Structure 1
Amino acid sequence: MLSKFKQLLFFGLILLAAITFYSSNKNDNLKKPSNIIVQSSLIKYISIVVDKPITIEHYFQFLDSIVNKYDSVTSYKLSEHLLVRANSWIIDTLKNTDYYIMKARDSFIYNQKKMIVIPKGTYITIPDSTTAIKLLNSFKKTTIDINIPEFKLRIYEDSIKLYEFPIRVGRNEKKYLKMAGRVLDLKTKTGSGFIVRHVRNPSYYNPVNGHRYFVTKRDDGKLTKLPQIPFIETEINGIRHGQLIHPTTNPETLNKAYSNGCIGTKEEDAWVVYYYAPIGTKIQIRYDLNGTDTKDKSLLLKDIYNLK
């Protein structure tokens, strides 16, 4: 009888030790950042636990470190755009760093680069091959469509409109630009082409006098640091005109012919455009006076460049 009791006690102690060991390891995994690999006959993905908060100024370096580390273990070419599109919440977080969105929440942001966009403890998933293939096919089917007199930028996948954003376009005038060294027609150029370059940490210059600036005056009259939001370079009809898609810090200029030829968007919209426009994305810039209103009814647009 005593022997049986000892046997039960022995097995009980072993069970207790196993439970304690499991609980200890589980708690350690919650405390320490780690890579969690989930694998079965149906799925295989890697989930990364972020071990410190990531601000905008370190955001791209952080993404690059993930891509560089895990590209060798994926069956496809891992990229920043694939990674973020597979973790779409990142785009939503970036959109919410828009100065004017924060202002509407009674929060004045002087330096957006210091804002946290990926909190500590967040999970980022490396997409499995099925998800990656779907996204790569989506990239191939994506087109950016810009209609100048309508002041609209639309993103399509095949014939399905995914997004529509207000923009500003080039002025209807000619002007000497010091950065170009000659007089240029500031109208936004039309044609078809591709996205050819991203500038992830752009410098800001006044093209008229070549002066570099580091702060901007907002529509509310307040000065802030300039944001770190990527500029997107286009090639139209085989020519790089220096015609960029980039955010404006003054959304009051949207729906106007205001720029030196570039296409300006809201800060929040610029993040969306960037992640739907990897290198090689098709773009069409047109001048079509046949537009639609907010209810998709046809209307004749104003001929802002006096071309018709």
Structure 2
Amino acid sequence: MIVLLGSCTGKNRQISEKKSAIVLLSSEQASKSLLPQPIKLNRNVTIGEYFGYIDSLVQHYDSLVPYPLSEHILVKHNSWIIDTLANTDYYRMKARDSFIYDQKKQIALPKGNLLQIPDSLRACQLYEDFSNTEIDINIPEYKLRIFQDSLLLYEFLVRVGQNRTRYLKMGDRETDLRTKQGKGIIVNHVKDPDFYNPVDGKQFYLTKRDDNRTTLMPQIPWIETEINGVRNGQMIHPTTNPKSLGKAYSNGCIGTREADAWVIYYHAPIGTKIKIRYDLETYEEGMVISVFKDIYDYQN
């Protein structure tokens, strides 16, 4: 079997541009000769160290493989990492009788585990998967879905913006807090966010959980959207208070569970398509199966 490196189409065209000297490889060469040995973790890597560690691996191994290695490609190929990160969710840990004050000290990559480097065939498939992925949010349904082509991969409960205007010091103006609708893409990731109260502009470091216990703010990536060509600061990010999910509660952002935020992040590299809609009815086989409350009073 002969494999053409860079046969992936669309935005994955960069694969063929990286190493133009390599044109044709047998599948055996592509999967073995160019594939670095698995990386054995010789120590525990905490969440506080996690992104720096992963970035260092990507930088090193990118020069050893015939495609542009990225954090998302590496982690999706080692999907156990996503599960491990999701299980650091404060409320999942609480259900296991473990109180976590500082989430950054939890183990993201356990000692002894192996990280596999994908071969070019697998990397090509992952690039194709990402290019065919879309995030779909229906505001009055409080649902975020991840589709690959027409296949539903995940469905998550979210919170959305409130139905009111409010003065926000960070924007120094009266702001419509309703979540903005439209089509767009993911334009940025904030891997170590700082936390500010948008109303008074003051930075904070602690959060009061739904169980009335106080913890440090967790380090979980925020995802920035561009909707209808406008970057209006509307983010997808975790909330430390999941009781607010299924409500119009935020200042415009889309809030998720901590565990769900990790899953969404690793399905949303830069350039991922996103659609935010306001559909009061859902259909199945041409029949209305759900009718949602008009939370923004658009019908009036």
Q: TM-score range by the shorter chain?
A: 0.7 to 0.9
> Is the 1:113–1:227 contact (alpha carbons within 8 Å) kept by the matching residues of 2?
yes
Of 161-170 and 43-52, more deviation after overlay is shown by 43-52
- Alignment match of 1:208 (pick from 199, 212, 224): 199
Report the residue type matching 1:97 in the other structure. T
Residue 178 of structure 2 is matched in structure 1 by: 187
1:114-193 matched pairs, under 5 angstroms: 114-193=105-184
Residue 74 of structure 1 is matched in structure 2 by: 65
Residue 52 of structure 1 is matched in structure 2 by: 43
Residue 248 of structure 2 is matched in structure 1 by: 257
Report the residue type matching 1:131 in the other structure. R
- Alignment match of 1:220 (pick from 211, 225, 228): 211
The C-alpha deviation readout for 1:128-172, integer Å capped at 9, x for no partner, is 001000000000000000000000000000100000000000000
- Alignment match of 2:75 (pick from 78, 84, 87): 84
2:144 match: secondary structure: strand
The C-alpha deviation readout for 1:95-139, integer Å capped at 9, x for no partner, is 000000000000000001000111112110110001000000000
- Alignment match of 2:270 (pick from 269, 279, 284): 279
What root-mean-square deviation, in Å, do the aligned CA atoms of Structure 1 and Structure 2 show?
Answer: 1.5
Residue 43 of structure 1 is matched in structure 2 by: 31
Residue 238 of structure 1 is matched in structure 2 by: 229
- Cα distance 1:178–1:146, how it changes in 2: closer, same or farther (>3 A)? same
> Is the 2:170–2:199 contact (alpha carbons within 8 Å) kept by the matching residues of 1?
yes
Percent of aligned pairs sharing the same letter:
59
Residue 297 of structure 2 is matched in structure 1 by: 306
Deviation at 1:291, TM superposition (A): 3.1
Q: Give TM-score scaled by structure 2 length.
A: 0.87
- Cα distance 1:251–1:297, how it changes in 2: closer, same or farther (>3 A)? farther
The C-alpha deviation readout for 1:168-221, integer Å capped at 9, x for no partner, is 000000000000010000000000000000000000111000011001000000
Residue 31 of structure 1 is matched in structure 2 by: none
CA distance in 1, matches of 2:263, 2:283: 23
> Is the 1:150–1:291 contact (alpha carbons within 8 Å) kept by the matching residues of 2?
no
Q: Give TM-score scaled by structure 1 length.
A: 0.85
CA distance in 2, matches of 1:212, 1:188: 23
Rg comparison, structure with higher value: 1
Paired positions, count:
268
CA distance in 2, matches of 1:226, 1:266: 14
CA distance in 2, matches of 1:42, 1:281: 27
Per residue, is there more helix in 1 or in 2? 1
In structure 2, list runs of 5 or more residues that go unmatched: 1-26
1:91-110 matched pairs, under 5 angstroms: 91-110=82-101
Report the residue type matching 1:237 in the other structure. N
> Is the 1:188–1:261 contact (alpha carbons within 8 Å) kept by the matching residues of 2?
yes
Deviation at 1:52, TM superposition (A): 1.3
Report the residue type matching 1:145 in the other structure. D
Deviation at 1:43, TM superposition (A): 2.7
CA distance in 1, matches of 2:288, 2:40: 48
CA distance in 1, matches of 2:125, 2:211: 43
CA distance in 2, matches of 1:56, 1:112: 7
Of 117-126 and 161-170, more deviation after overlay is shown by 117-126
1:201 match: secondary structure: coil
- Cα distance 1:48–1:174, how it changes in 2: closer, same or farther (>3 A)? same
In structure 1, list runs of 5 or more residues that go unmatched: 1-38
